[in-house]
Amino acid sequence: MRTIFWKDCVWLIDQTKLPEKEELIACRTVEELIGAIKRLSIRGAPALEAAGAYGVALAAFEREFSDVDEMKRYLVEKAKLLASARPTAVNLSVGVDRVLKKALEGESVEEIRKIALSEAEKVAEEDVERNKRIGENGAKLLEDNDVVLTFCNTGRLATVDWGTALGVVRSAVEQGKRIRVFACETRPLNQGSRLTCYELMKDQIDVTLITDSAVGIVMRKGLVNKVIVGADRIVRDGVFNKIGTYTVAITARYHGIPFYVAAPKSTFDLNKTEKDVEIEERSREELIFCGNKQLAPRDVKVYNPAFDFTPLSLVSAIITEEGILYPPYNF
Ligand code: MRU
């Protein structure tokens, strides 16, 4: 099943319910979709690209319009809200902008609806195809019996299907290579333990769950020999990805373990550098509570950035749908 699809409105797998329940939710308005993006019911850069794209289509269908100009103004306004729902992954605004630009070429309400939906479907379709190509390219870096450490979730659930970093593992396994995975739990929202372990076990790919703080011992003991992670935005001087990625990259470098990033070209934002990108800060509650259980004093000061930046000097290669990039990265 695809992570996100259109059937009269936008449907998505509610990732906040996993691994306990695989539940679909319908977003019938842009506001509902923005809510789903903010609470991470849909998440992961490529899945957000599709969500942004479908979101603009949703804006075209969610109400009636008295004329085309009113509709176009409405689409522009909703596109702005969608694109700013989460600031760090560039893919969200890539998906929004692509469909908006195409839709604004339409000359009637009906034509705009048709264009917006067909462009959004293309965005989703292309994501699956490019992930398969990322997988095939990246699988060349994996050998039989490799053990890959990964962070956060970069699989089917973070994309429309297949995955980026986990797509590489999937492709290698499909080619008959025996690959094992160590998945970091990825505190505080546990995309690694809840989502990566869930989807790899479903596909019968060997996965071992570790705490984020076990990365050092796992590398020191030689339990993994490669790292592959995804990316939310690749800028001229480095890679933004889930908080904790930077620490994994430093630890990998210390232990001489290759650190690979897998991402589609739409994640590249090469007019920017580290200082131009906003790192999303999430709520204090994510650290103070785990479900209903209180884990810290209610009034404690909290710093909860959702992403961090890894300089290119720590990245051994970047795997894209167009091939593998190696240092020095001449973007
Ligand atoms: O906050 P999230 O769960 O949206 O963060 C996701 C990540 O950081 C992923 O590693 C990244 O988006 C790549 S997904 C193929």
Determine whether 276 is an active site residue.
Answer: no
What pTM did the predictor assign? 0.97
Q: How far does the centroid of ligand 1 lie from the alpha carbon of residue 45, in Å?
A: 6
User: In the structure, which protein residues have their CB atom closer than 6 angstroms to any atom of ligand 1?
Assistant: 40, 43-46, 89, 152, 154, 158-159, 164, 191, 230-232, 241-242, 306
Distance from the CA of 290 to the center of ligand 1, in angstroms? Answer: 20
| Residues 100, 63: Cα–Cα separation, whole Å | 17
Q: Smallest Cα–Cα separation from 44: which of 184, 227, 166?
A: 166
CA–CA separation, 165 and 228 (whole Å): 6
Atom of ligand 1 nearest to the CA of 44: 12
Exposed/middle/buried for 180, CB within 10 Å: 0-12, 13-18, 19+? Answer: middle
Cis check: omega of the bond before 188, within 30 degrees of 0: yes
| Rounded Cα distance, 207 and 181, in Å | 5
**Within 13 Å and on the Cβ side, how many CA atoms surround 282?**
21
Domains delineated in the chain: 4-132 (1.20.120.420), 141-325 (3.40.50.10470)
Mutation test of ligand 1: which of 232, 261, 280, 309 has the most ligand atoms closer than 8 Å to its C-beta?
Answer: 232
Q: How would you write the pLDDT of the chain (331 residues) with one tens digit per residue?
A: 899 999 999 999 999 999 999 999 999 999 999 999 999 999 999 999 999 999 999 999 999 999 999 999 999 999 999 999 999 999 999 999 999 999 999 999 999 999 999 999 999 999 999 999 999 999 999 999 999 999 999 999 999 999 999 999 999 999 999 999 999 999 999 999 999 999 999 999 999 999 999 999 999 999 999 999 999 999 999 999 999 999 999 999 999 999 999 999 999 999 999 999 999 999 999 999 998 999 999 999 999 999 999 999 999 999 999 999 999 998 8
CA distance 230 to 310: 12
Q: How far is CA 177 from CA 26, 42, 206, in A?
A: 38, 31, 12
| 233: Cβ contacts below 8 Å, ≥ 6 apart | 45, 88, 89, 90, 239, 240, 267, 269, 272, 277
